[in-house]
């Protein structure tokens, strides 16, 4: 399945959808609609994108060298290259949705998914390419996490839909997936080490998973096993490869298959609610 998903997530410029761009809208209004979501092209494209990035960061540090295309550099000052301007209204929706809710002052995995969808859409219009995959995670997404952590601290944002101590994390999920992929086959760091504060402080600059643990340690008090029980349990898993596989399954079950999360997801021409073509 992973191979199929990776292929669906690596859209090149030649494969840019030929249909007219549109402002995305909500399509999942009732629990029975969840079947439509799981059969949709959007679900296939989104998970394909997540899995492609998961593979690209495997066994690599945040500080490694990576390619950044000229188009990606242009995104620093403009969301899209000039020749892709027609897609700006559609793609901008996902960026706006990615920073939390300004009324409830909350943030959660649904907002995080919106940012991943934003990057996925940039790939689908050819603004980012397969060569940019490492930069998408290590440069763009990691910087996004920095911004969101500052917002969480400054505005004391509430966790949107948090499961409390029984959830993986109050705010994020994807950096745990990609961060565990980075650590696959690491010669010295094993899953049991991420509950060791000294190991976290020594290596967090290189590994996204450990960055997340460091932030949790800064924000929460008390025994780690009590305030982050799910992560504590994960520390007992024997290998990072098994951690990575388990987190992918958990992400699908706890985030992408939960109505309270997906009811807010928006669909357009790039991430379509239409079913995957047979």
DSSP string, 33-72: GHHHHHTBHHHHHHHHHHHHHHHHTTT--TTS-----HHH
**Which architecture does CATH list for 30-264?**
Up-down Bundle (1.20)
HSE toward the beta carbon, residue 183, CA cutoff 13 A: 30
User: Quick one: pLDDT at residue 271?
Assistant: 96
Q: Are 141 and 112 in contact (CB under 8 A)?
A: no
210 membership: H or E segment, kind and range: helix 208-219
In the block, residue with structure tokens 């492609």? 52
User: Quick one: pLDDT at residue 96?
Assistant: 84
**Integer Cα distance of 233 and 195 in angstroms:** 10
The pairing of beta strand 158-159 with beta strand 106-107: parallel
DSSP SS3 for 205: coil
Closest CA to 58 of 224, 155, 184: 184
CA 49, 50, 55, 56 torsion-angle sign: positive
Looking at residue 195, the DSSP 8-state letter turns out to be G
- Identify how many contiguous H helices and E strands the chain contains and give both numbers: 15, 4
Domain boundaries, the chain: 30-264
DSSP SS3 for 261: helix
From first to last of its 278 residues, the chain has per-residue pLDDT tens of 344 444 444 444 444 445 588 989 999 999 999 999 999 999 999 999 999 999 999 999 998 887 766 554 444 336 566 677 778 888 888 888 888 877 788 888 999 999 999 999 999 988 889 999 999 999 999 999 999 999 888 888 887 765 544 568 888 999 999 999 999 999 999 999 999 999 999 999 999 999 999 999 998 889 998 989 999 999 999 999 999 999 999 999 999 999 999 999 999 999 999 999 88
User: Quick one: pLDDT at residue 126?
Assistant: 86
Q: Are 130 and 54 in contact (CB under 8 A)?
A: no
User: Quick one: pLDDT at residue 13?
Assistant: 44
pTM of the model: 0.86
User: Quick one: pLDDT at residue 265?
Assistant: 95
In the block, residue with structure tokens 């460091």? 214
């Amino acid at each position: 399945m992973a191979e199929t998903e990776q292929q669906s997530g690596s859209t090149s410029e030649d494969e840019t959808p030929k249909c007219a761009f549109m402002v995305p809208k909500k399509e999942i209004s009732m629990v029975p609609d969840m079947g439509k979501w799981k059969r949709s092209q959007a679900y296939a494209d989104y998970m394909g994108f997540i899995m492609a990035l998961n593979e690209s960061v495997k066994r690599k540090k945040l500080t490694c060298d990576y390619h950044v295309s000229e188009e990606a550099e242009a995104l620093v000052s403009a969301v899209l290259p000039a020749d892709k301007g027609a897609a700006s209204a559609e793609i901008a929706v996902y960026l706006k949705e990615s920073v939390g809710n300004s009324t409830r002052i909350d943030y959660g995995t649904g907002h995080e998914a919106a940012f991943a969808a934003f990057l996925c859409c940039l790939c689908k219009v050819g603004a980012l390419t397969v060569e940019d995959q490492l930069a998408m995670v290590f440069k763009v997404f990691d910087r996004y996490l920095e911004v969101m952590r500052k917002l969480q601290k400054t505005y004391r944002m509430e966790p949107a839909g948090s499961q409390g101590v029984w959830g993986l994390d109050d705010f994020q999920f994807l950096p745990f997936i990609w961060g565990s992929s980075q650590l696959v086959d690491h010669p010295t760091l094993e899953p049991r080490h991420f509950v060791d504060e000294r190991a976290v402080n020594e290596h967090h600059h290189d590994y996204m998973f450990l960055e997340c643990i460091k932030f949790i340690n800064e924000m929460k008090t008390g025994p780690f096993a009590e305030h982050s029980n799910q992560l504590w349990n994960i520390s007992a898993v024997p290998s990072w490869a098994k951690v990575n596989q388990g987190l992918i399954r958990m992400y699908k079950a706890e985030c992408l298959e939960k109505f309270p999360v997906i009811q807010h997801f928006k669909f357009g021409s790039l991430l379509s609610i239409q079913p995957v073509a047979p």
